[in-house]
Amino acid sequence: MTQASAARLARQVAHAAGTFEHLLLGRAPASVTVVAAAGCMVVNLHESFSTFERRLAADEQGADRVREFHQSLFDRSLDSLVGHVRRSTGVTLQGAIAHVDTATGSVLKTFTTAAAVDLFLLGRGLPALGVPVNDHRHATARQRVEMAGGNGAARR
């Protein structure tokens, strides 16, 4: 695959994922990034909370409700998103994980064509070097199916 055709495919995947999110939530993601290398593709959907979700997430109990809502929405819509991207582009996404950050008001959804995905959450306001890893989550396609009622990720 040439570099131009890989870039075109990455744009198609980004468009398909963004379109699906718009249909699901009634708003498009804040941004979609796609990285393709060594036969693998990683798709990140960055979303901002609605005004209501930001207000609700201001206290601990509300933050828990917003987090649970977005995680449940991710778990329940995942198969449909994967099917939509596959039908639209021919690319099969396998690994998937979501991180709901109520402090910043964002939802990060990460997908990969590999069977597993790792998400490393880095600290805020970090120096250029010596970045601490605050959290690590790992999910495989199999775990995603087995943990449909859970948060969709297994912690190491």
Q: Using CA atoms, how far apart are residues 113 and 94, in angstroms rounded to an integer?
A: 5
Q: Is residue 136 part of a domain?
A: no
Spatial contact of 34 and 40, defined as CB atoms under 8 Å apart: no
Per-residue pLDDT at 128? 54
Q: Is residue 129 part of a domain?
A: no
Chain segment 100-145, per-residue pLDDT in tens: 989 888 888 888 888 888 877 766 655 555 444 555 566 766 555 4
Per-residue pLDDT at 76? 94
Total domains present in the chain: 1
Q: In what order do the strands lie in the sheet with 40-48?
A: 31-37, 40-48, 106-112, 95-101
Chain segment 5-52, per-residue pLDDT in tens: 888 888 999 999 889 889 988 888 888 888 887 777 888 888 888 889
Per-residue pLDDT at 152? 41
Q: Is residue 59 part of a domain?
A: yes
Range of the domain at 99: 3-115
Q: Is residue 31 part of a domain?
A: yes
| Burial of 77 from C-beta contacts in 10 A (0-12 / 13-18 / 19+) | middle
Q: Is residue 24 part of a domain?
A: yes
- Backbone φ and ψ for 146, nearest 5 degrees, come out as -70, -30
> Does the reported pTM lie above 0.75?
no
Average pLDDT value for residue range 72-92? 92
Per-residue pLDDT at 125? 54
Q: Is residue 84 part of a domain?
A: yes
CATH code for position 52: 3.30.980
Per-residue pLDDT at 127? 54
Average pLDDT value for residue range 69-91? 92
Q: Is residue 33 part of a domain?
A: yes
Reported as type and span, the H/E element at residue 14 is helix 3-25
Q: Is residue 151 part of a domain?
A: no
Of 114 and 2, more confident:
114
